[in-house]
């Protein structure tokens, strides 16, 4: 059975309980990661997973609350490897290739000094041998690819399709993802306002992960309502898509105040007739 791990369920503003966005969906032996927000690597381990289990990472867009832990994840996954792991495949909208190059390239990468030292110094080589690696130690190998709406990426037992999400264009491109497997269909909406392209992508999905930035009535008439989903908008998108289960994530700070969660869930229940999960960081559940 597929399992969903909520690593990050928050926004750019840190709170005691939430900060940034990141999710993992386990399909058989595959662990597919979506976004890599603040402390995602540490939260991955706290959730009982390990960076070397992740062979595929998909970015919805490149706001820092969705990608700032990317260098930590890349370096940790490589450092903890024995050299026998699969190559990491990274997909996302425009800037994914550029960001990866700027982080890891041997000549231009901001963190190249780290891995160059570790493939040469006896201390690091010994640590590599102690965890089961053999010499010579291999440099990091990451295959990053910019993708757009309407594309399909296939794994050994799954398929991911993309659709345009609408958030902060033209400054950043945004994507939503649909993962189809024999164990179910799962949609990660990413950051988006209500839009038909995401509704169409989520048609009859078993689970839809959708942002819920605030109680709808508290953001009406503001840019938050124009470019993101509040409670009613999230529920209506799931209802229009016929999604069988809705998971609310990317929750704004006001939703952490007493009574706000209940108000938001009430809004959703008024327009969506399926089961709803309030996504909390470090929770996981069978889908």
Whether residue 242 is predicted with pLDDT greater than 90 in this model: the reply is yes
Q: What is the pLDDT of residues 183-225, one digit of tens each?
A: 999 999 999 999 999 999 999 999 999 999 999 999 999 999 9
Q: Is the pLDDT of residue 256 over 90?
A: no
**Structural domains of the chain ordered from first start:** 3-286 (3.60.15.10)
Give the Cα separation of 49 and 92 in Å (integer). 22
Tokens read off for 98: 């550029």
Write down how long the chain is: 287
> Across all residues in the chain, what is the average pLDDT?
98
Q: Regarding beta strands 158-164 and 246-249, do their DSSP bridges make them parallel or antiparallel, or are they unpaired?
A: unpaired
CA distances from 247 to 238, 265, 278 (A): 10, 11, 6
Q: How confident is the model at residue 241 (pLDDT cuts 50, 70, 90)?
A: very high
Query: What was the pLDDT predicted at 39?
Result: 98
Edge-to-edge, what's the strand order for the sheet holding 142-146? Answer: 142-146, 88-92, 54-58, 30-34, 21-27, 3-9, 284-286
Confidence of residue 57 (pLDDT cuts 50, 70, 90): very high
Q: Judge contact between 147 and 57, C-beta under 8 A.
A: no
90-106 average pLDDT score: 98
User: For residue 160, what are the contacts with CB-CB under 8 A and spacing of at least 6?
Assistant: 32, 58, 152, 153, 154, 177, 178, 179, 180
10 Å Cβ neighbour count for 39? 19
Confidence of residue 30 (pLDDT cuts 50, 70, 90): very high
């Amino acid at each position: 059975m597929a399992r969903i791990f909520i690593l990050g369920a928050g926004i750019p503003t840190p709170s005691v309980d939430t900060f940034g966005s990141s999710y993992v969906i386990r399909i058989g032996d595959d662990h597919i990661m979506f976004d890599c927000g603040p402390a995602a690597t540490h939260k991955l381990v706290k959730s009982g997973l390990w960076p070397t289990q992740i062979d595929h990472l998909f970015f919805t867009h490149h706001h820092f609350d969705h990608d700032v832990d990317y260098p930590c994840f890349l370096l940790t996954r490589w450092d903890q490897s024995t050299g026998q792991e699969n190559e990491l495949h990274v997909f996302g909208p425009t800037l994914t290739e550029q960001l990866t190059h700027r982080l890891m390239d041997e000549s231009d990468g901001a963190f190249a000094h780290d891995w160059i030292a570790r493939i040469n110094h006896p201390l690091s080589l010994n640590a590599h041998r102690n965890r089961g690696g053999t010499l010579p130690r291999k440099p990091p190998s990451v295959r990053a690819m910019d993708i757009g709406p309407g594309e399909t990426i296939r794994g050994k037992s799954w398929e991911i399709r993309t659709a345009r999400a609408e958030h902060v264009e033209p400054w950043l491109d945004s994507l939503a993802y649909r993962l189809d497997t024999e164990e179910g269909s799962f949609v990660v909406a990413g950051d988006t306002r209500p839009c038909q392209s995401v509704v169409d992508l989520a048609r009859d999905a078993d689970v839809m992960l959708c942002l819920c930035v605030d109680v709808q009535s508290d953001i009406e008439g503001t840019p938050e309502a124009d470019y993101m989903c509040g409670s009613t908008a999230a529920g209506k998108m799931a209802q229009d898509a016929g999604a069988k289960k809705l998971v609310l994530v990317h929750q704004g700070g006001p939703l952490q105040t007493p009574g706000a969660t209940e108000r938001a869930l009430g809004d959703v229940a008024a327009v969506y007739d399926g089961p709803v999960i309030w996504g909390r960081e470090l929770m996981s559940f069978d889908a």
